[in-house]
Amino acid sequence: MDEFKVRTVDLQQVQNQTRHKTDGLSSSTLVLRRGQAFTVTINYDGRPFDPLKEKLIFRIVLGPIAVEVPVSRFGQPSLTQWTAVLERSVPNPTGPRALSVTLSSPATASIGVYTLQLRVEARLSVKTHLLGQFTLLCNPWCEADSVFLQSEDLRTEYVKSDIGLLFKGSPGNIVSRPWSFDQYEKGILDICMKLLQVSPQYQADMGKDLLNRSNPVYIGRVISAMVNSNDDKGVLMGNWSGDYSGGVNPSQWSGSADILRMWAATQFRPVKYGQCWVFAAVMCTVMRALGIPTRVITNFSSAHDTNGNMVIEEYYNEMGEKLSFSRDSIWNFHVWVESWMKRPDLSRGYDGWQVLDPTPQEMSAGMFRCGPAAVTAIYERRVDAQYDVPFVYAEVNADVRTMIVRNGRVLSTSVDKRRVGALISTKRPGSMSMQDITSEYKTEEDENTYRGSMAGVTGRSTTFRCEPQSDRIMASKGVEVSLQLLKAPVVGENISFNIIITNNDAAPKLLRKHVNAQNKEYNRNPTETFWEAHDDIKIGPKETVTIKHEISFKHYMLKETEEDSLVNLAVVIEDVKSQERVLASEEFIIRSPSLDIQIQNEVSVIINTPQVATVIFTNPFNVAVSGELTVSGSGLLEEKAQMRLTIQPRETIKKRVNFTPRMAGARMLSANLVLENPPTIMHGFKTINVQAS
């Protein structure tokens, strides 16, 4: 009878990927998770396989590292080493014969793109067969993996879901922005693997990097540096200047695939431009693709403490204008990610969520990266626990010292211990709403009065509360002042607010009132004043007066294209007789109007069945506007739908978009309208539950 001869080997891509929960991920290779068995079928000619006459040895290669795995007849898959066990031979008297072999990888295997070979050793010959490549990912379904996450609902949200909601704005006026993580889009997983290869660590010492890639702490640190381009061939270039010529305005991105594909297509030149939420959302895509549970976090009123003294200094002149004296700043919001992993490098109790921040702010061990910093270590003020806990602790806990100054002399000072880290939030699993996670970072005494009142962020994407912010009131003995916005400001409408002044003394007073409004970027101090009002007020003994102001749209008409414009509003009250001064300030967002998306037959959206969506928008301006509408949806639209629009004042337009769902489950359709005049970016989104046929 003929000798045993291997004809072909089938890597069983469909069955293995379904079992490994990697179906849907697009790669040029088989995609597997570590710590789990997979099956290959060896088709052969000639006589049946006889383990006494020939040996089958799998060779598993990752760069310079190779493991030889002999096929055994009586073994068990192992979680600690590579194994190969002969399951059965499939008799087929008429045609080709087949052997089924179960291979399994250890739960601590390095992630990367492996090459699989099979060597057949007979008495007189040795033949090697190249079987192809497989990509090995972390496995949050495997208890022995250091990224294991107990709950199936949380694994679905933090690994499998590609729908995001990013929170921006200010604590009193939150806006939510849709984001498509796009980890299932064509070629994205391969680009994420490439990102590890382009890293300085891999370039400097390939073998060492590949060995370290078993550890998600190391992987997180590498990705945190590679998402920004400050000291490597990283993905995104940051730009906070307001001038985005030569690139894309950060507010115009709506998903990660465009950014990652552009980076790969230009031979790893940085994509222009990112700001914090873009850096964080791209990092979330990469980590989820690699199998590490990850979520996007927004810290409202986030301190950037440049000198490490845990105090942010703010300066105002006596006219209520905020001054740019300090290198410290409070970002209205800052966005980072948390990834779930064990921390064997720390003492017990620090497993779980870890802060990773790819926005280039400060260096960590010589590179622009941050983390992983254990959230528990931040909560416990364990500033000695690596990595970068003091920096993140200050972002959520620094004190704010506010000073009114004239000619370099401080006229009055107040300290606010509650403004920074006012609210820390993320998307609620399985829902398009916000989850308040402030209590995971801060103890009750650290926490702000915002707690509990932040319940609903709706699909219409704003939450607004009109209580005066008592923690922002500066009181002297004689006079108190506070600011109160009367409604959530929207582009195109006037800004209405009250100033409330109380005289605590039993004698009347003559006061001077200075009100000042300045434009600002979310990550730094305000720029020029665009509106101000100054007048004198007489106030009776123990009296409280409320003065209403309106700032008209023409005063704050936008100069640069923005999705949401930020304003710093401040009032200084001066007691003419005693020369005492008090200040109240409020930073708020002027929200862009929303786009509405309706689905023709919302209750029965079925995979591979044509559907129609309608994007609806009413022009709120007194002038005709024109711009470009873009509609996209991963798993719904193959190509983005783009169209030029001109809309008359107060006109409502309805634009139909045809789509055919390619993936079942929760999907998101999102729309962006970029107007030229006034330069504004508007968003809308609709989640759709696509049913399997």
Catalytic residues: 276, 334, 357
Q: How many CB atoms lie within 10 A of CB 324?
A: 11
Residue 164 φ/ψ, nearest 5 degrees: -125, 160
Query: What residues pair up with 428 in beta bridges, in sequence order?
Result: none
79: CB partners within 8 A, 6+ apart: 35, 104, 106, 107, 142, 144
Half-sphere exposure of residue 353, counting CA atoms within 13 Å on the CB side?
19
For 208-232, the DSSP string reads HHHHHTT-HHHHHHHHHHHSB-SSS
**260 membership: H or E segment, kind and range:** helix 257-265
| Cα–Cα distance for residue pair 477/25, rounded to 1 Å | 64
646: CB partners within 8 A, 6+ apart: 624, 625, 626
SS3 of 45, please?
Answer: strand
In terms of DSSP bridges, do strands 30-33 and 126-137 run parallel, antiparallel, or are they unpaired?
Answer: parallel
SS3 of 592, please?
Answer: coil
Q: Which two tokens stand for residue 251?
A: 């507010």
Question: Which amino acid appears at position 412 of this protein?
Answer: S
Q: How many CB atoms lie within 10 A of CB 209?
A: 21
225: CB partners within 8 A, 6+ apart: 199, 200, 231, 232, 234, 358, 367, 368, 369
- Which three-class secondary structure string do you get for 619-645? CCCCCCEEEEEEEECCCCCCCCEEEEE
Q: Smallest Cα–Cα separation from 217: which of 107, 355, 334?
A: 355
Q: Rounded to 5 degrees, what angle do the CA atoms 139, 142, 146 make?
A: 70
Q: Smallest Cα–Cα separation from 211: which of 98, 111, 89?
A: 111
What are the percentages of helix, strand and coil residues in the chain, rounded to 5? 15, 45, 40
Residue 251 φ/ψ, nearest 5 degrees: -70, -15
Residues 227 and 235: beta-carbon distance below 8 Å: yes
Question: Which amino acid appears at position 326 of this protein?
Answer: S
Cα torsion through 204, 206, 208, 214, rounded to 10 = 130
Q: Kindly give the residue spans of alpha helices, DSSP state H, lying in 266-313.
A: 276-289
Q: Which two tokens stand for residue 492?
A: 């195109």
Please state the separation of Cα 367 from the chain's center in Å.
21
